[in-house]
Amino acid sequence: MTTPPPRPPSTRALRNRIILAVAAAAVLAVALIAGMISARPAPAPATTAPAATPTSTPTPTPGARPQPTRTPGAEAVDTFDKNARSIDDPASIWVVVNKQRPLNPLDYVPADLVDVPVDHTWAPVLRKEASDAVVAMFTAAAQEAGLELASNSAYRSYSSQVEVYTDDVEHNGQAAADLSTARPGYSEHQTGLTMDIGPSSGNCSLNTCLADTPEGQWLAANGWRFGFILRYPADKTEITGYDFEPRHYRYVGVELSTRMHETGVRTLEEFFGLPAAPTY
């Protein structure tokens, strides 16, 4: 019996075989990819840094301020030199004259006396430096406050002081005179550095009521700017030896007057550490 030749597969059968082959290939590919992924080494776990230990911050006390660190020996040093000028030489603008410290010589006469070009009762004479300072002060009083000042007395020689003191003793007695007028040779007026100042009107010029006038108040507040001090304050009689004289201004120079103003020391005796001079 003769075997018939095989029939070629139909078109439908070929298509089914192709679909099966493609599906099988796809499954195999997926399996291979999954195997490769699973074979990779797992990444090392991330290292977690230990948490920082919190630092305790002190809570500031309300109103407290940090205190500066002090360096030993760093305190402010007073650089004012109290020995820069003599307090004994009558020619020094710092000379201290009182009932215990007479001028030497007693009849001392300054070498540089000049006329002072300001309003006056009696023509004033002072040492040149003090004269220039008076002019500047009178000018400032007029320009700053509209005040007119005048000189009532300035330099007095030894012989002039003899007359002034003798007259005071005759009219008021020696005890009273010694509280208001210096004896010859003991007067600041003889230094050529002192002026009795008052209003040009003459109101209260020679009395303590000058302290209550605009002129007296301006002088008391501003004299130091020009090198002057009120030499005989109201509450310093036991130190200076004289009653309150709001008219009596002594030139000591701006350096010293400024220092006394800053420190609040009002008498030369206290500033230079000298004994009080209430009596002769």
Please state, in angstroms and rounded to a whole number, the distance separating the CA atoms of residues 187 and 164. 11
Q: Is 20 exposed, middle or buried (0-12, 13-18, 19+ CB in 10 A)?
A: exposed
- In 10 A of CB 117, how many CB atoms? 11
Report the length, in residues, of the chain.
280
Looking at residue 205, the DSSP 8-state letter turns out to be: T
Q: What is the DSSP string of 16-62?
A: HHHHHHHHHHHHHHHHHHHHHHHHSPPPPPPPPPPPPPPPPPPPPPT
Q: Which residues are catalytic?
A: 245
Looking at residue 99, the DSSP 8-state letter turns out to be: T
Please state, in angstroms and rounded to a whole number, the distance separating the CA atoms of residues 89 and 96. 9
Cβ contact 240:269 at 8 Å = yes
* Degrees, nearest 5: CA angle 116-222-89: 55
